């Protein structure tokens, strides 16, 4: 048995169903849990004018790390905190504390994989073992009915094969005791301004769907509330396209993104719910959405860095995109003159969250109506979203931009049709664009057509109180 193993926490900030950490506690006499704040993840994207990780994401991460440390202390351990490049920091820690191995969670995307490779090379010099564990998905890639390189390019084909031929592995137990070596320098969790220059913790907007707080404890509490306390799981399929309120969807995505909650634990809770309260389309649909999340992870493994290129996984080099900074800023700031787009972008800017329905529409508007470089939009989502997940985010943007996994060629969202279907009375738009509060429902989603007399009646002057539309919105009315 190795005397000492370092466990490097990454996007698996939990103690339940954490195979790598569980095995570290079983394989070694002592375990040193470590989290490294990678400074590269907080750098400013100078060309685009925002940091790679924005304040909402940073706040959620800081809370998640703090909660992990608290939970480890309850088990007799602690969480060693460092800031820097993980491949450098961890190799130095292994040498300093004579660790025989480093265990960690396997990641799917290119940047993370490159760090694993760099760390592995450094550890070989000192004869330190490096072992990775795949634990971010519902299904394990080794159990799939095809090689990852042969993953189907459409989700439906993937889903049918997996549901028919593959079983989900059971969850791992939570370690009962963590034995930490004596004399370890723990370090401290940085302040947000130490990660992102000139920043402070974001203020919660009362209009937001949920006051997202990071950590395993909060994630499990949210799961219990949504499934068991309020019984919202039974109507998930009917409500999941909502726009306002805490419970139109599960909102598990933030805790899943940082691994505060295991997807397999959610699956087991769904099965327990079905056994006790009954199965229906909604219980299936929540697992269905987890399977979409799996799919984007496996697609990332298959295509590697192609998901980040403007040509996408289709390698479409014929499609041309515009790099118009002015138009991009209008989109970011919710000043396009299209209320449904602007309301969603304001919600994202002020809360770090946006509904799935909103994401599809604003992404389609950027790519298909403004013809802007879709990777800019994906990068902005990466910065802003509290539930940013590299595979789901970039996979979905590939999909909407028409360079990814979509069996329907030239998919296009008619913004007016979408707005009137999902915000029929304009309640969502008026929540985030109060200057349109007096515009009636029949006109709220086409304010660009308001006559001067109507503008006066409704108390909104286009070009002053609310922007004039930067596209001809009447094209949606003709379709």
pLDDT digits (tens, 9 = 90+) for 273-302: 999 999 999 999 999 999 999 999 999 999
236 is in an annotated binding site: yes
Phi, psi of 131 (to 5 degrees): -125, 130
| Residue 302 labelled as part of a binding site | no
Q: Quick one: average pLDDT of 390-416?
A: 88
Kindly state the average pLDDT of the residues 431-446: 98
Residue 46 confidence (pLDDT): 87
Grade residue 409 by pLDDT with cuts at 50, 70 and 90: low
389 appears as a binding residue in the annotation: yes
For residues 4-27, give the mean pLDDT.
98
DSSP summary character for residue 61? H
- DSSP type of residue 33: E
- Would you say 249 is a known binding-site residue? yes
The response to whether 412 counts as a known ligand-binding position is: no
Consult the annotation and say whether 63 binds a ligand.
Answer: no
Go through the domains of the chain in sequence order and give each one's CATH number: 1-135 (3.40.50.620), 137-170+217-307 (1.25.40.80), 325-476 (1.10.579.10)
Which token pair is 237?
């399929």
Residue 180 has pLDDT above 90, yes or no: yes
Question: According to the annotation, is 231 in a ligand binding site?
Answer: no
Longest dimension (CA), the chain: 82
Q: What is the mean pLDDT of residues 65-78?
A: 98
pLDDT at 423: 97
Residue 251, marked binder: yes
The pLDDT score that the predictor gives to residue 375 is 98
pLDDT tens track for 368-379 = 999 999 999 999
330 token code pair: 């209008």
Q: What pLDDT was estimated at residue 407?
A: 61
321 assigned to a ligand binding site = no
Residues 122-141 pLDDT 10s: 999 999 999 999 999 999 99
252 has binding-site annotation? yes
Mean pLDDT over the full length of the chain: 96
Whether the predicted pLDDT of 226 surpasses 80: yes
201 pLDDT exceeds 90? yes
Confidence label for 478 from pLDDT (cuts 50, 70 and 90): confident
Percentage of residues in the chain with pLDDT exceeding 70? Answer: 99
- Residue 1 — very low, low, confident or very high, per pLDDT cuts 50/70/90? low
388 known member of a binding site: yes
Confidence of residue 2 (pLDDT cuts 50, 70, 90): low
DSSP H helices in 307-355: 325-332, 339-351
Query: According to DSSP H, which parts of 109-171 are helical?
Result: 110-125, 155-165
3-state secondary structure of 466: strand
381 known member of a binding site = no
Nearest to 289 by CA among 241, 361, 245: 241
Confidence at residue 405, expressed as pLDDT on a 0 to 100 scale = 78
Q: What is the pTM of this model?
A: 0.96
Question: SS3 helix, strand, coil % of the chain, rounded to 5?
Answer: 50, 10, 40
- Is 290 annotated in a binding site? The answer is yes
Is 293 within any annotated ligand binding site? Answer: yes
């Amino acid at each position: 048995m190795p005397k000492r193993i370092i466990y490097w926490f990454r996007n698996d900030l939990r103690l339940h169903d954490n195979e790598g950490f569980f095995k570290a506690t079983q394989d070694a006499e002592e375990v040193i849990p470590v989290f490294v704040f990678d400074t590269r993840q907080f750098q400013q994207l100078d060309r685009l004018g925002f940091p790679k990780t924005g304040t909402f994401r940073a706040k959620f991460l800081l809370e998640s790390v703090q909660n992990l440390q608290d939970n480890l202390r309850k088990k007799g351990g602690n969480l060693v905190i460092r800031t820097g490049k993980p491949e450098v920091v961890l190799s130095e820690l292994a040498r300093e504390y004579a660790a025989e191995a480093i265990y960690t969670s396997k990641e799917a995307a290119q940047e993370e994989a490159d760090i694993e490779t760099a760390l592995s090379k450094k550890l070989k010099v000192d004869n330190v073992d490096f072992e990775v564990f795949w634990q971010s998905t519902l299904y394990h890639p080794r159990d799939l009915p095809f090689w990852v390189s042969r993953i189907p390019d459409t989700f439906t084909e993937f889903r049918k094969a997996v549901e028919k031929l593959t079983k989900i592995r059971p969850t791992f137990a939570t370690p009962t005791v963590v034995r930490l070596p004596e004399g370890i320098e723990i370090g401290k969790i940085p302040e947000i301004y130490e990660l992102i220059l000139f920043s402070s913790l974001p203020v919660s907007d009362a209009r937001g769907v949920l006051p997202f707080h990071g950590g395993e404890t909060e994630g499990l509490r949210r799961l219990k509330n949504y499934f068991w306390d309020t019984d919202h799981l039974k109507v998930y399929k009917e409500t999941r396209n909502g726009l306002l309120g805490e419970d139109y969807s599960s909102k598990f995505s933030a805790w899943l993104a940082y691994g505060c909650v295991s997807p397999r634990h959610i699956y087991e809770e769904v099965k327990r719910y079905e056994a006790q309260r009954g199965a229906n389309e909604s219980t299936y649909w929540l697992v269905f959405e987890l399977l979409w999340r799996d799919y984007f992870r496996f697609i990332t493994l298959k295509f590697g860095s192609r998901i980040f290129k403007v040509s996408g996984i289709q390698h479409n080099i014929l499609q041309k995109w515009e790099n118009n900074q002015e138009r991009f800023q209008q989109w970011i700031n919710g000043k396009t003159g299209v209320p449904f787009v602007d309301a969603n972008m304001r919600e994202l800017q002020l809360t770090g969250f946006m509904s799935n329905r909103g994401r599809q529409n604003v992404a389609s508007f950027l790519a298909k109506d403004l013809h802007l470089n879709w990777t800019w939009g994906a990068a902005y989502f990466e910065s802003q979203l509290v539930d940013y997940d590299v595979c789901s985010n970039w996979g979905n943007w590939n999909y909407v931009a028409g360079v990814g996994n979509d069996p329907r060629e030239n998919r296009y969202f008619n913004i007016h049709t979408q707005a009137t279907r999902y915000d029929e009375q304009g309640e969502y738009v008026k929540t985030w664009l109060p200057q349109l509060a007096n515009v009636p429902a029949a006109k709220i989603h086409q304010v660009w057509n308001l006559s001067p007399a109507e503008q006066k009646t409704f108390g909104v002057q286009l070009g002053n109180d609310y922007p004039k539309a930067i596209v001809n919105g009447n094209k949606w009315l003709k379709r």
